[in-house]
């Protein structure tokens, strides 16, 4: 049966692929957009990704405004949505706590409130670092009683973006539990381009890494042979988000969207370098040393890196057995992640 969905972040990378996947299957979607006048151009982009423009509509809304700046008429228009996919987030390595909190935490709570008021399910995009409990504890997150966490201290350690993603997750979860709302959370690893076309948007963290490597600005590989940057291809992620968003059995569940076949960081960089026809760095640099260097004013610009990005390079081996079982249940095939990496590099290289 075709469903009607509400989606925030539809103009973003994951959002575009989710809209293509939803409309390809005949589901309709209303987008909450800061600039709804951009819908026609976005709808064309979604058609190029294999979706259907005729099933898309948009209303004006801003996560950082009280009441999402949704008019009463638009609130009525979106009230029929069966599922609210909340993908929007403010991303950047230099966000202040206040900026990140306003959009990523207060905004997410407003979306949760909307979902509860209209009786919709909510699908929240979290992040894979939420599945690394040792990392959360090292940042000061109280996993037993998250409401007791000193969030300002977490933001100081993790930075605005990561701090706000963590706080948003725990606060939205508490809000939905308190109001008997139906919540499912998908935690994506760093998102790789489409496994065949390589389609990726320029602002994406992986696209930045590819750009740095292509420009010959990656002097050494952060970490050791045990370090990796877990990935998931955007096409697999979109299909997984759609499937769990419609699956009643996933209410109350957290789903880790991470491809366990991602190579270690050294092999990942070599794979990309071969496509880009540049030489891959041969040496590793220890993460604590790199972190210390990046604290020196001017160094992030000089090293084309940011200390906040280092948290995503890990040695942890994640348990993906539950996701593997879901993929089998929904008949989703994991694309070859090495091929997705190569396709992403080719896609960006062809576009300069």
Ligand X SMILES: NC(=O)c1ccc[n+]([C@@H]2O[C@H](COP(=O)([O-])OP(=O)(O)OC[C@H]3O[C@@H](n4cnc5c(N)ncnc54)[C@H](OP(=O)(O)O)[C@@H]3O)[C@@H](O)[C@H]2O)c1
Does 188 sit near ligand X (CB under 6 A)? yes
Q: CA-to-CA distance for 78 and 241, rounded, in angstroms?
A: 20
Give the separation between CA 347 and CA 40, rounded to whole angstroms.
Answer: 24
If one asks whether residue 63 binds ligand X (CB under 6 A), the answer comes out as: yes
Considering only 19, 78, 88, 141, the residue that binds ligand X (CB under 6 A) is 88
Residue 5 interacting with ligand X (CB under 6 A):
no
Q: How far apart are CA 228 and CA 222, in angstroms?
A: 9
Q: Which stretch binds ligand X (CB under 6 A): 48-56, 130-138, 196-204, 273-281?
A: 196-204
- Tell me which of 5, 6, 15, 273 binds ligand X, using CB under 6 A: 15
Is 164 near ligand X (CB under 6 A)? no
Under rule CB under 6 A, residue 6 binds ligand X: no
Nearest distance from C-beta of residue 257 to ligand X, angstroms = 8
The answer to whether residue 228 forms part of the interface with ligand X (CB under 6 A) is no
The reply on whether position 320 binds ligand X by CB under 6 A is no
Q: Which one of the spans 81-89, 137-145, 220-228, 267-275 is the region binding ligand X (CB under 6 A)?
A: 81-89
CB 106 → ligand X: shortest distance, Å?
10
Q: Does 20 bind ligand X (CB under 6 A)?
A: no
Q: Does 230 bind ligand X (CB under 6 A)?
A: no
Contact flag: residue 163 with ligand X (CB under 6 A):
no
User: What mask, x for binding ligand X by CB under 6 A, covers residues 123 to 162?
Assistant: --x-x-----------------------------------
Q: Does 173 bind ligand X (CB under 6 A)?
A: no
120 binds ligand X (CB under 6 A): no
Q: Which two tokens stand for residue 277?
A: 């026809």
Return the residue matching tokens 């992030």: 300
* Residue 95 to residue 77: CA distance in whole angstroms: 33
For residue 347, the tally of other CB atoms under 10 A from its CB is: 18
Residue 87 as a binder of ligand X (CB under 6 A): the answer is yes
| 269 is a contact residue toward ligand X (CB under 6 A) | no
Task: Please state, in angstroms and rounded to a whole number, the distance separating the CA atoms of residues 53 and 84.
Answer: 19
Burial of 94 (0-12, 13-18, 19+ CB in 10 A): exposed
User: What tokens were used for 91?
Assistant: 């991303």
Which residue stretch of 9-17, 50-58, 218-226, 243-251 sits at the interface with ligand X (rule: CB under 6 A)? 9-17
For residue 90, state whether it binds ligand X (rule: CB under 6 A). Answer: yes
Least separation in angstroms between CB 289 and ligand X: 25
103 is an interface residue for ligand X by CB under 6 A: yes
Minimum distance, C-beta of residue 221 to ligand X, in the bound complex (Å):
19
The stretch among 148-156, 175-183, 202-210, 313-321 that binds ligand X (CB under 6 A) is 202-210
Distance CA 288, CA 185 (A): 31
Stretch that binds ligand X, among 58-66, 131-139, 241-249, 273-281 (CB under 6 A): 58-66
| Burial grade of 28 (CB within 10 A; 0-12, 13-18, 19 or more) | middle
- Residue 47's Cβ-count burial label (10 Å; 0-12, 13-18, 19+) is middle
For residue 236, state whether it binds ligand X (rule: CB under 6 A): no
Residue least distant from ligand X (Cβ) = 12
Contacts with ligand X by CB under 6 A lie at 8-9, 11-15, 34-35, 62-64, 87-91, 103, 125, 127, 165, 188, 190-191, 201, 203-205
């Amino acid at each position: 049966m075709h469903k009607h969905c509400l989606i925030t972040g539809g103009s973003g990378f994951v959002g575009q692929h989710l809209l293509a996947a939803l409309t390809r299957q005949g589901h309709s979607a209303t987008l909450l957009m800061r600039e709804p006048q951009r819908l026609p151009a976005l709808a064309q982009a979604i058609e190029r990704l294999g979706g259907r423009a005729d099933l898309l509509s948009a209303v004006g809304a801003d996560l950082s405004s009280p009441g999402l700046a949704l008019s009463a008429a638009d609130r009525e228009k979106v009230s029929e949505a069966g599922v609210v996919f909340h993908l929007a987030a403010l991303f950047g390595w230099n966000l202040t706590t206040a900026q990140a909190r306003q959009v990523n935490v207060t905004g997410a709570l407003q979306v949760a409130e909307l979902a509860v008021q209209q009786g919709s399910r909510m699908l929240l995009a979290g992040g894979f670092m939420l599945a690394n409990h040792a990392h959360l504890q090292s940042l000061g997150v109280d996993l037993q009683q998250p409401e007791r966490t000193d969030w300002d201290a977490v933001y100081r350690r993790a930075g605005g973006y990561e701090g706000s993603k963590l706080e948003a997750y725990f606060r939205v979860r508490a809000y939905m539990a308190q109001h008997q709302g139906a919540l499912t959370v998908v935690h994506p690893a760093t998102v790789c381009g489409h496994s065949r076309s390589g389609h990726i948007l320029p602002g994406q963290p992986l696209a930045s890494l590819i750009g740095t490597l292509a420009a010959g600005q990656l002097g050494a590989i952060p970490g050791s042979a045990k370090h990796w940057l877990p990935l998931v291809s955007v096409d697999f992620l979109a299909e997984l988000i759609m499937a769990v968003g419609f699956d009643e059995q996933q209410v109350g569940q957290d789903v880790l969207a991470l491809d366990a076949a991602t190579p270690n960081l050294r092999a990942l960089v070599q794979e990309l370098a071969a496509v880009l026809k540049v030489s891959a760095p041969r040496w590793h640099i220890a993460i604590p040393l790199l972190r210390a260097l990046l604290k020196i004013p001017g160094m992030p610009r000089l090293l084309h890196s940011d200390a906040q990005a280092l948290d995503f390079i890990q040695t942890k081996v994640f348990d993906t057995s539950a996701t593997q079982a879901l993929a089998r249940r929904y008949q989703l095939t994991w694309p070859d992640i090495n091929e997705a990496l190569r396709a992403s590099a080719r896609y960006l290289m062809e576009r300069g």
